């Protein structure tokens, strides 16, 4: 395994995947392998809406840039905290498509050998309404996917 992609949404559940990614890297051999941490920015309605002439106007581009900058800083912190002795690439994507599609496209275009992703453990109505990024990645991935259940830690 030469290239391991680890996805994160900055949630506590996402941290479950980091130790498993380190384990895969040990199996593959640190010298010949690399890890990429990937964050796809979630598209959310802007919170800073102004009303002018009865129309809602928001600075979507400015807000996205601010979120991108914050996400880039946070993902670098995660890399230092969880992979201190390893060279780790950090990538933040401004989405053009759904999160799972961005993950799959990244894996295809960057010769990823394995994706490590965590679940949130949603069930029932929440799962039905929100879906599962991990589930969609597994179904469409061009490479093996390791799915780590939320809350599981490996030491």
Which domains are present in the chain? 3-148 (3.40.50.620)
Residue 14 exposed, middle or buried by CB count within 10 Å (0-12, 13-18, 19+): buried
- Coil, helix or strand at residue 48: coil
CA dist 114 → 38, 41, 109, 134, 155 (Å): 13, 21, 13, 13, 21
pLDDT range class, residue 153, cuts 50, 70, 90:
low
8 Å CB contact between 8 and 72? no
What angle is formed at CA 38 by the lines to CA 16 and CA 129, rounded to 5 degrees? 70
pLDDT range class, residue 45, cuts 50, 70, 90:
very low
Beta strands of the chain (E only): which ranges? Answer: 3-7, 34-40, 49-52, 55-58, 88-93, 114-118, 145-148
Give the pLDDT of residue 128. 45
Give the pLDDT of residue 43. 62
H/E stretch holding 100 reads: helix 99-109
pLDDT at 7 over 50: yes
pLDDT range class, residue 81, cuts 50, 70, 90:
very high
- Coil, helix or strand at residue 143: coil
Q: Which of 18-22, 81-85, 145-149, 151-155 has the lowest mean pLDDT?
A: 151-155
């Amino acid at each position: 395994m030469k290239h391991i992609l680890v996805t994160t949404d900055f949630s506590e559940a996402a941290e479950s995947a980091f130790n498993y990614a380190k384990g895969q890297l040990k199996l593959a051999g640190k010298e010949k392998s690399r890890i990429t941490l990937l964050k796809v920015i979630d598209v959310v309605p802007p919170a800073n809406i102004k009303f002018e002439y009865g129309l809602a106007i928001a600075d979507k581009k400015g807000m996205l840039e601010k979120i991108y900058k914050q996400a880039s800083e946070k993902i670098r912190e995660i890399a230092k905290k969880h992979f201190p002795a390893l060279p780790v690439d950090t990538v933040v994507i401004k989405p053009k498509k759904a999160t799972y599609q961005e993950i799959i496209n990244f894996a295809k275009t960057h010769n990823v050998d394995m994706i490590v992703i965590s679940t949130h453990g949603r069930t029932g109505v929440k799962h039905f309404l929100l879906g599962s990024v991990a589930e969609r990645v597994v179904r469409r991935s061009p490479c093996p996917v390791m799915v780590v259940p939320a809350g599981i830690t490996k030491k």
